Structure 1
Amino acid sequence: MTRSSGETLRQWLLSDRPQSRRQARLGRAYVIWRQFSGNRLALVGLGIILLLVLMAAFADAIATHNPVQGDLAGARLLPPGSAGYLLGTDDQGRDIFSRLVHGSRLTLMVVVLVAIIAAPVGLVVGTVAGYAGGWLDAVLMRITDIFLAFPKLVLALALVAALGPGIENAILAIAVTSWPPYARIARAETLTFRKSDYIAAVQLMGASSWRIVLRHIMPLCLSSVIVRVTLDMAGIILTAAGLGFLGLGAQPPLPEWGAMIADGRRFILDQWWVAAMPGFAILIVSLGFNLLGDGLRDALDPKEAGQ
């Protein structure tokens, strides 16, 4: 693409009078990306998350050893860099690097499924409560307040204890404890849009309440919820790791990072790498989601994007 064609495309994307919905959407996406890419830390966070996704997708090719079976006789508690073990081995002779690589699949699965379950529930509850008002708003928000009254980890522990240990029950428990903040954000956004001229015009056209909520209010609240979900990913990872550390999450021999830390806590003084490596992985991934969330928050802010 020549420089002149690039400038023409840029002018077409940044036009203040788009000729079609496609042009308007592409122009909005371009403005968001330009705002996002101007934040170097956000790009670092995006790079970390992309690396996590690639690691999970190609775990079988990246891992150098079997993640669940080790050499108990000849490779137990080897330090990093010994005999082809990049990050050392654990007390079962299993390669820590391979377990971290395969554990990225579990981590990614947890955050994606929790987001898929919790975010839509919170979005529906918040928008319905904010638009309907009255007794329905009061009931839905009091239910939300009940969930917010309990610390996430404590409530998740109670739910997993009732449902039984396992990665599926841990995901469900974390999702149940994660939706209330999204409902609060969606309700606050809905209250600002409910009396706007835009919604009044849709009402005059005869649109039903459900159509207004689903087609017009929810899309306006979506950017705020996406930012909050991204920022909450670190907390979701830590909660899942906490459940795994206590033996209520993924069960052995699955290479879940929290469970790996629990296995290594007995050797923390002499064989520090057994617990430190999965802890460092949790730190890096959590940092990546926080940096990505900060960048999305700035890029999706309409006041910032217009500058």
Structure 2
Amino acid sequence: MSAAFSQAWLLDETPASRSQAAWGRRYRAWLDLRSNPLAMIGLVVVVAFVILSLAAPLLATHDPGVQNLTNRLAKPSVAHWLGTDELGRDIYSRILYGGRVTLGMVIAVVLLVAPLGLAVGCIAGYSGGAVDRILMRVTDVFLAFPRLILALAFVAALKPGVESAVLAIALTAWPPYARLARAETMTVRNSDFIAACRLTGAPAGRIVLRHIAPLCVPSLVVRITLDMSSIIITAASLGFLGMGAQPPSPEWGAMIATAKRFIFEQWWVPTIPGLAIFMASLAFNFLGDGLRDVLDPKQR
């Protein structure tokens, strides 16, 4: 009865409060997402990767950095579920700890680029004029270069490492979000409710922060989720090229780089981290497509 009452409360067509209306929208969005099987598969895989990475110290069967040269390039077995690499390190344990590095880099990039892109796009779209032209020309400069090439240039100017890779990817990933936020802002800046805010004397900063930016967030969330796969691949590519996480850090891209010469004889050594990158990227794509259908009113 309690569950039925809660569902009826959430789906009430005439909510009695703003809180009920907000929770009702969230519940309907969840129902729409749940009806998409591919989106749910992506969500389950993403959550599984996050949980496995966070629980790596509990789930790992070996220390990811301990070498055992007498057992190098061992096939998958009971002792080593996914085999060992060229230094005898357990691949299963390194995959778990590598998820911490790779997914941690992705989360750090998102936390940096999302607020930056949202701020630049909203300010440019609302201000217009010279401010818009200057900010968009700066955005165009970053968009003119391929993301990986520009990230390599930034890392080379700093020093190879996780922190440099995160900063480099963040500096190259924010322009699309700024473009999207600007487009969303320009569609609502002349709306009646924005005009009413101006008539009440609200400053431009408050209007952008309290009224325009929240309207841009759903589209930004969808774009970020869809871009997660490219961010993962860029982070792994930097590790593969020796410009990201440095050995002996168990980063998925770096693991492929050190094992690529064994792909024909000991195929499991480079293939397993490659499968981890593939599965994580595909899961984020599935989830992003589902969120686009739920959050973007143009797709309805």
TM-score range, shorter chain: over 0.9
> Of 1, 19, 33, which residue of structure 1 is paired with 2:16?
19
Name the amino acid aligned to 2:98: G
Q: How many residues align?
A: 300
Name the amino acid aligned to 1:242: S
Question: Is 1:39 paired with 2:36?
Answer: yes
Write the distance in 2 (CA, Å) between the matches of 1:71 and 1:11. 60
> Of 185, 188, 194, which residue of structure 2 is paired with 1:193?
188
Deviation at 1:49? 0.8
Write the distance in 2 (CA, Å) between the matches of 1:208 and 1:140. 21
Aligned to 2:73: 77
Aligned to 2:270: 275
Deviation at 1:7? 4.2
1:60-82 per-residue CA deviation (whole Å, 9 max, x = no partner) reads 11111110112112x1101122x
Write the distance in 1 (CA, Å) between the matches of 2:299 and 2:184. 18
Aligned to 2:52: 55
Question: Is 1:169 paired with 2:160?
Answer: no
Deviation at 1:301? 2.1
Secondary structure of 1:290 counterpart: helix
Secondary structure of 2:245 counterpart: coil
Aligned to 1:30: 27
Write the distance in 2 (CA, Å) between the matches of 1:172 and 1:284. 25
Contact 2:255 2:270 in 1 (8 A): yes
Secondary structure of 1:154 counterpart: helix
In the TM superposition, 1:119-198 aligns within 5 A as 119-198=114-193
Aligned to 1:236: 231
Using structure 1 for the length normalisation, give the TM-score.
Answer: 0.95
Secondary structure of 1:145 counterpart: helix
Write the distance in 2 (CA, Å) between the matches of 1:94 and 1:207. 61
Using structure 2 for the length normalisation, give the TM-score.
Answer: 0.97
In the TM superposition, 1:186-265 aligns within 5 A as 186-265=181-260
Deviation at 1:153? 0.1
Aligned to 1:94: 89
Deviation at 1:195? 0.8
Deviation at 1:304? 5.7
Query: Structure 1 pair 20/180, CA: closer, same or farther in 2 (3 Å)?
Result: same
Contact 2:292 2:299 in 1 (8 A): no
Deviation at 1:10? 2.8
Deviation at 1:211? 0.2
Write the distance in 1 (CA, Å) between the matches of 2:283 and 2:98. 17
- Structure 1: where are the runs of 5+ without partners? none
Name the amino acid aligned to 1:213: V
Name the amino acid aligned to 2:197: V
Write the distance in 2 (CA, Å) between the matches of 1:130 and 1:287. 33
- 174-183 or 14-23, which moves further after superposition? 14-23
Secondary structure of 2:103 counterpart: helix
Write the distance in 1 (CA, Å) between the matches of 2:60 and 2:132. 51
Name the amino acid aligned to 1:157: L
Write the distance in 1 (CA, Å) between the matches of 2:112 and 2:282. 23
What percentage of residue pairs aligned between the two structures are identical?
57
